[in-house]
C-alpha cells in the first residue's frame, strides 16, 4: 500500500511530494540565509537580539578560535548547554571547520557526563561556568583536552546583565585556573587567523544526539548534514514558514525536535528563534504575550501545563500560526484542553500531533492542518515512506492491521555510534531495494495513509498470554475528569506472568483516596477488555519525566521492581478487581518537569 502513497491527497497545496534538497553543510545553508536576510533577526535571547549578519560574524570568529585551539575535521566537541547563543554559535562554527558536535543535557551529573564524553571521544567541550563543578572531577577520566566556559550574562542586555550579576551570578563559584580551561569572551575577543577551508560532504557526520536511555544504555545517533537539512526543509513545507515568522524555541537543543525543528529549520529560512533557556508555563505565556511568536512546539506536558495555568485566559493567541506536539503520546484530552483554553479568548488553534524518533532526526509524520483523526499521529512528510510490516518480517501488513512501523527517507541516521550490530538490527534493506528503519514501535496505517502509533514493542505487557498495551490503558485513564496524566506498567504476577499497575497524577492531588482508586479501576473495566485493566493504582503528585518531558516509564518499572524484591510471591494480588491492599495512596513525589523540558 505504501507504494501508492494514499496520504498525498491530504497534503496542503503548498506541501510538495518531493523536495530538491541542497548538497550543503548545515553551516552553508545558514550562510545562505544570511546572504538573503542579513538584517533580519536570527535569535532573541532574553531580549538580547542578533541579526543574521551579527550571528554569522560570531560563528566565523568562533570557528577561527576553535581552529586555533586545534579542532580539525572529525574532532568531537561536546556542547553541554541550555538554549543560549553560545551553544548555537559553537554548533555552526564547529561544522564550518569539519568538527562534529555531541549534544548533551547541561544538567547531566558527572557520571553521565563521563559516559557521554567517552562514548563520543570528545577532545573538546563547552559549557557554562555554572556547570563547571560537574566537569572538574571527571575530566581526567575522559579524552577532554580543552574545556571552554561561557557565562550566561555574556549575551544579556545591559540591565539584565547587572541584575543577573547581583542575583544568580553571585552564587556561581569562581572557577580555579587550569591550563585546560578557556573562556568564551577571551576567545571571541582575540583576532585569530582565518581557519583553513575544509572540504565537508553533505552526507558526512555533523552531530551526535542520544537515545533516551529510559530502559537501557543510551546510544549515540549519528546524523549527517543532509539529514538535518532535509528535516528542516520538510518542516518548512508544512508551515509554510516564511522569513517574517518566529518560533518559541522551548525544546532543548540536545533533542532532535529542539535542534532540528525549533532551531535549524528557522535558521535556514532566515526566520527568528526566540530562545527559551528554562521552561515554565508562566514564562511561555509571557513570551507569547510580549514576543508574539508565530509558531510553538512542545511535548504534551508543556501543553498540559499551559492549559492548566490560570493566566492562559489573559493571553492573546492570535499571533500563533501553528502549534505542534511531539516527543510523546498526546492524550486526546490534553489536546482538547489546550484548544478549548485558547478558544475562550476567541482564537482557534489546532494542536497538530506528530510522530518521529531521533534516528530520523525528529518528526517523520504530522497531522494535516485541515484533517483530524483521533488516535492518529498523522501522515508521512514529503519524500518519506512509511509502511507497517508483520512482526519479524519484511512483509507489509494490511490496512488496519498492527505491525512494526518502518520508515524510509532522507532523514534516516547514518547509524549508531560505534555500534554496527545495533545499526544492522535497526536499518535493513527490504526486497524493494530501499533502506528502511525499523522503529521498534507497534502501529497501523489506515487505507488513507494515516499512521496510528500504538506502543513501543518493548513496552507491551503479556498477561495470561494476552498482549496488553499500556498506551490504551493510559488513554482511558487520562480521559477520566480527575486525571492529569497516567502511566501503566507490567508487574510480576505468580499466575498471569504479569499484571497491570497504573501510576496516576491527579489534576487536584487533594482528591487522592482509596475510593477514587477503586473508581478509576472500575472506569477502566467499563472501557477496556478485562485483561487490560489495572489491578493496582498508585497516586503520585508528579510522574517522573525524561530530560525532554516524556513520562519516564522505565523509572517507574525500576522503582516497582525494587519495591517488590522483598515481597513474597503469595502476597502479590491474585486478580481481585479492587484489592485494597494493593492501592498505594502514599502519593510519593517524584521528578518534576525539568528546567529545560
Query: What domains are defined for the chain?
Result: 52-200 (3.40.50.980), 460-582 (3.30.300.30)
C-beta pairs of 504-509 under 8 Å, 24+ apart in sequence: 504/477, 504/537, 504/538, 504/539, 504/540, 505/539, 505/540, 505/541, 505/542, 505/543, 506/482, 506/539, 507/308, 507/482, 507/483, 508/482, 509/539, 509/541, 509/587
17-25 mean pLDDT: 97
Lowest mean pLDDT, pick from 8-22, 217-231, 354-368, 540-554: 540-554
Q: Dihedral sign, CA of 208, 209, 211, 212?
A: positive
Count of helix runs (H) and strand runs (E) in the chain = 18, 27
Residue 512 has pLDDT above 50, yes or no: yes
Between residues 57 and 216, the one the model is more confident about? 57
User: What's the CA gap between 380 and 7, in Å, rounded?
Assistant: 7
Residue 246 has pLDDT above 80, yes or no: yes
191-213 mean pLDDT: 93
User: What's the CA gap between 124 and 182, in Å, rounded?
Assistant: 11
Which of 118, 539, 110, 225 has the alpha carbon at shortest distance from 127? 110
pLDDT computed for residue 591 by the predictor: 24
344-357 mean pLDDT: 93
Give the global pTM. Answer: 0.85
Lowest mean pLDDT, pick from 155-159, 226-230, 503-507, 518-522: 155-159
Three-class secondary structure of residue 395 per DSSP: coil
Q: Find all residues with CB under 8 Å of 236, minimum gap 6, and list them.
A: 265, 268, 269
Q: Roughly how many angstroms between the first and final C-alpha of the chain, as a whole number?
A: 37
452-480 mean pLDDT: 88
**Percent of the chain's residues with pLDDT above 90:** 76
User: What's the CA gap between 328 and 353, in Å, rounded?
Assistant: 9
Write out the H or E segment, with its range, that includes residue 288.
helix 281-291
Amino acid at each position: 500500500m505504501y507504494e501508492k502513497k494514499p496520504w498525498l491527497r491530504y497534503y496542503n497545496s503548498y506541501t510538495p511530494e518531493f523536495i530538491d534538497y541542497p548538497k550543503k553543510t548545515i553551516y552553508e545553508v545558514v550562510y545562505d540565509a544570511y546572504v538573503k536576510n542579513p538584517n533580519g533577526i536570527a535569535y532573541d535571547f532574553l531580549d538580547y537580539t542578533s541579526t543574521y549578519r551579527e550571528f554569522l560574524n560570531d560563528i566565523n570568529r568562533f570557528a577561527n578560535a576553535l581552529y586555533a585551539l586545534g579542532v580539525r575535521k572529525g574532532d568531537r566537541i561536546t556542547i553541554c548547554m541550555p538554549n543560549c547563543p553560545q551553544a548555537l554559535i559553537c554548533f555552526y562554527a564547529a561544522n564550518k571547520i569539519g568538527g562534529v558536535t555531541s549534544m548533551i543535557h547541561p544538567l547531566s551529573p558527572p557520571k553521565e557526563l563521563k559516559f557521554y564524553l567517552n562514548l563520543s571521544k570528545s577532545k573538546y567541550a563547552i559549557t557554562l561556568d555554572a556547570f563547571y563543578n560537574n566537569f572538574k572531577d571527571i575530566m581526567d577520566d575522559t579524552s577532554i583536552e580543552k574545556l571552554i566556559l561561557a557565562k550566561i550574562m555574556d549575551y544579556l542586555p545591559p540591565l539584565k546583565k547587572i541584575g543577573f550579576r547581583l542575583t544568580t551570578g553571585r552564587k556561581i563559584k569562581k572557577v580555579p585556573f587550569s591550563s585546560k580551561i578557556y573562556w568564551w569572551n577571551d576567545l571571541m575577543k582575540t583576532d585569530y587567523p582565518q581557519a583553513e577551508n575544509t572540504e565537508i560532504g553533505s552526507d558526512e557526520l555533523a552531530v551526535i544526539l542520544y537515545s533516551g536511555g529510559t530502559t537501557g544504555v543510551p546510544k549515540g545517533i549519528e546524523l549527517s548534514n543532509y539529514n538535518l537539512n532535509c528535516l528542516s526543509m520538510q518542516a518548512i513545507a508544512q508551515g509554510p514558514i516564511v522569513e517574517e515568522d518566529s518560533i518559541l524555541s522551548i525544546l532543548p537543543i540536545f533533542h532532535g525536535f529542539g535542534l532540528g525543528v525549533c532551531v535549524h529549520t528557522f535558521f535556514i529560512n532566515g526566520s527568528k528563534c526566540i530562545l527559551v533557556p528554562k521552561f515554565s508555563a508562566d514564562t511561555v505565556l509571557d513570551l507569547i504575550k510580549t514576543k508574539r511568536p508565530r509558531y510553538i512546539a512542545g511535548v504534551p506536558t508543556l501543553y498540559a501545563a499551559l492549559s492548566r495555568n490560570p493566566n492562559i485566559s489573559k493571553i492573546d493567541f492570535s499571533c500563533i500560526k501553528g502549534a505542534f506536539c511531539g516527543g510523546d503520546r498526546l492524550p486526546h484530552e490534553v489536546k482538547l484542553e489546550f484548544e478549548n483554553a485558547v478558544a475562550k479568548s476567541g482564537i482557534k488553534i489546532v494542536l497538530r500531533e506528530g510522530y518521529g524518533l531521533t534516528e530520523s532526526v525528529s518528526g517523520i509524520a504530522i497531522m494535516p492542518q485541515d484533517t483530524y483523526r483521533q488516535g492518529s499521529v498523522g501522515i508521512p512528510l514529503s519524500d518519506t515512506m512509511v509502511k507497517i510490516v508483520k512482526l519479524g518480517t519484511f512483509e507489509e501488513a494490511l490496512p488496519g492491521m498492527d505491525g512494526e512501523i518502518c520508515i524510509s527517507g532522507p532523514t534516516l541516521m547514518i547509524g549508531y555510534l560505534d555500534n554496527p550490530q545495533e545499526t544492522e538490527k535497526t536499518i535493513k534493506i527490504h526486497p524493494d531495494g530501499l533502506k528502511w528503519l525499523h522503529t521498534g514501535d507497534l502501529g497501523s496505517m489506515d487505507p488513507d495513509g494515516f499512521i496510528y502509533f500504538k506502543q513501543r514493542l518493548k513496552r507491551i505487557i503479556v498477561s495470561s498470554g494476552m498482549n496488553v498495551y499500556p498506551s490504551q490503558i493510559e488513554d482511558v485513564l487520562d480521559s477520566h475528569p480527575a486525571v492529569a496524566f497516567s502511566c501503566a506498567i507490567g508487574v510480576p504476577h505468580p499466575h498471569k506472568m504479569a499484571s497491570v499497575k497504573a501510576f496516576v497524577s491527579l489534576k487536584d492531588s487533594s482528591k487522592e483516596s482509596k475510593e477514587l482508586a477503586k473508581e478509576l479501576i472500575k472506569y477502566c473495566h467499563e472501557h477496556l477488555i478485562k485483561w487490560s485493566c489495572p489491578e493496582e493504582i498508585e497516586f503520585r503528585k508528579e510522574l517522573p519525566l525524561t530530560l525532554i518531558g516524556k513520562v519516564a516509564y522505565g523509572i517507574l518499572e525500576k522503582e516497582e521492581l525494587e519495591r517488590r524484591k522483598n515481597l513474597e510471591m503469595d502476597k502479590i494480588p491474585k486478580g481481585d478487581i479492587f484489592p485494597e491492599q494493593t492501592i498505594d495512596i502514599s502519593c510519593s513525589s517524584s521528578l518534576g518537569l525539568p528546567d529545560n523540558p
